[in-house]
Amino acid sequence: MTAVALSLLLAAAPSFARTHARELYQSGAKAYTLGDFAAALADFDKAYEYDAAPGLLFNLGQCHHQLRHWEKAEFFFKRYLEALPGARNAALVRELVQQDEAHLAPPAAPRASPPPAVPVVVVMDQPPAPKAPPTPAAASKGPPPAPPAPAAALTSEAPRPRRHVAPWLVGGVGVACLATGGVLGGLALSNGDQTRAAVEAGHVLTQHSDTYAQANQANAQATAGLAVGSVGVTLVVAAVVWVLTARP
């Protein structure tokens, strides 16, 4: 029992971690959309601890980029490109890396403000990254970055149709009852044949004789077999009707 419980816990651990990471991603995406990049950064960082999805590296780079943490933004963008070199938004990420490197280089001219935020990529599955490049930012030491675009909606696979397990269980019990009724019926027939043969052979059918006991046993088996078989038929019919009328 301990081994079974341990195996169940181990099997449930990845699912729990992924679910918790998804919740943290949703919280971070909401904070990012509202312009609270520090809170979004904290949520994405925690989400990466539970599920090291490559898309989270891009999200972390975006948060650092908006917070003007140029070195960290460059680091996460490069890690993202290493993890997903064929990502759809690879060209956009390389452009962001160039912007971060330009901010880290000795300034030859007044620095430009960061470009408007691009949508945060989806992190739980393969991220459909935005194709459109960010709008060029205003030059010089202008006002802070424009409010970010809404985070990309978290996608998931279409829910699979629910399988109704209950009717199959009921049908299984019904089949088992039919099989049990058949066995009892067979035993009743066998005992009945033996009783009939004994009577024909001249055995007296008295209340305390073995032949009488065998006859009573045959009757009891026949009655029980009929009852159990009837229950089995009822359950099988109910299961069939349930399956045919149940909604997917």
Which residues 6+ apart lie within 8 Å of 33 measured at CB? Answer: 148, 150, 151
Q: What is the mean pLDDT of residues 35-49?
A: 95
Stretch among 21-30, 81-90, 130-139, 177-186 having the lowest mean pLDDT: 130-139
Please check whether residue 3 lies inside any domain of the structure.
no
Q: Are residues 141 and 241 in the same domain?
A: no
pLDDT band with cut points at 50, 70 and 90 for residue 145: low
Q: Are residues 171 and 153 in the same domain?
A: no
Q: Are residues 146 and 170 in the same domain?
A: no
Query: Mind giving me the DSSP string for 206-224?
Result: -TTSHHHHHHHHHHHHHHH
Q: Which residues of 114-131 are buried (b: 16+ CB within 10 A; e: fewer)?
A: bbebbbbbbbbeebbbbe
Q: Are residues 221 and 112 in the same domain?
A: no
Q: Are residues 146 and 123 in the same domain?
A: yes
Percent above pLDDT 90 for the chain: 35
* Closest-CA residue to 65 (of 91, 93, 46): 93
Rounded distance, CA 65 to CA 78, Å? 13
Could you say which of 157, 184, 207 is where a domain stops?
Answer: 157
Q: How many domains are contained in the chain?
A: 2
Instruction: Quote the mean pLDDT of the chain.
Output: 76
Rounded distance, CA 215 to CA 196, Å? 9
Q: Are residues 37 and 153 in the same domain?
A: yes
Instruction: Say yes or no to pLDDT of 184 above 60.
Output: yes
Place of tokens 């985070």: 151
User: Could you tell me where the DSSP H helices lie in the chain?
Assistant: 2-33, 37-50, 54-66, 70-83, 90-104, 165-200, 210-245
Please check whether residue 185 lies inside any domain of the structure.
yes
Please check whether residue 6 lies inside any domain of the structure.
no
Contact 87, 80 (CB under 8 A): yes
Could you say which of 107, 125, 157 is where a domain stops?
Answer: 157
Rounded distance, CA 116 to CA 119, Å? 10
pLDDT band with cut points at 50, 70 and 90 for residue 48: very high
Q: Are residues 80 and 180 in the same domain?
A: no
Please check whether residue 239 lies inside any domain of the structure.
yes
Q: Are residues 178 and 228 in the same domain?
A: yes
Place of tokens 């209950």: 166
Instruction: Say yes or no to pLDDT of 150 above 60.
Output: no
What's the pLDDT score for residue 137? 47
Q: Are residues 70 and 136 in the same domain?
A: yes
Could you say which of 157, 191, 215 is where a domain stops?
Answer: 157
77-127 tens-digit pLDDT:
999 999 999 999 999 999 999 999 999 987 666 666 766 666 666 555 555
Q: Are residues 125 and 213 in the same domain?
A: no
Please check whether residue 116 lies inside any domain of the structure.
yes
Residue-number span of the structural domain to which 223 is assigned:
165-245
* Closest-CA residue to 156 (of 18, 17, 31): 18
The amino acid sitting at 19 is T
Contacts 24+ apart (CB under 8 A), 209-218: 215/191, 217/191, 218/187, 218/188, 218/189, 218/190, 218/191, 218/192
Residue 67's alpha-carbon distances to 107, 146, 243, in angstroms, are 19, 12, 57
Please check whether residue 44 lies inside any domain of the structure.
yes
Please check whether residue 133 lies inside any domain of the structure.
yes
Q: Are residues 135 and 172 in the same domain?
A: no
pTM value? 0.43
Please check whether residue 208 lies inside any domain of the structure.
yes
Contact 164, 246 (CB under 8 A): yes
Q: Are residues 53 and 175 in the same domain?
A: no
CATH of the domain at 112: 1.25.40.10
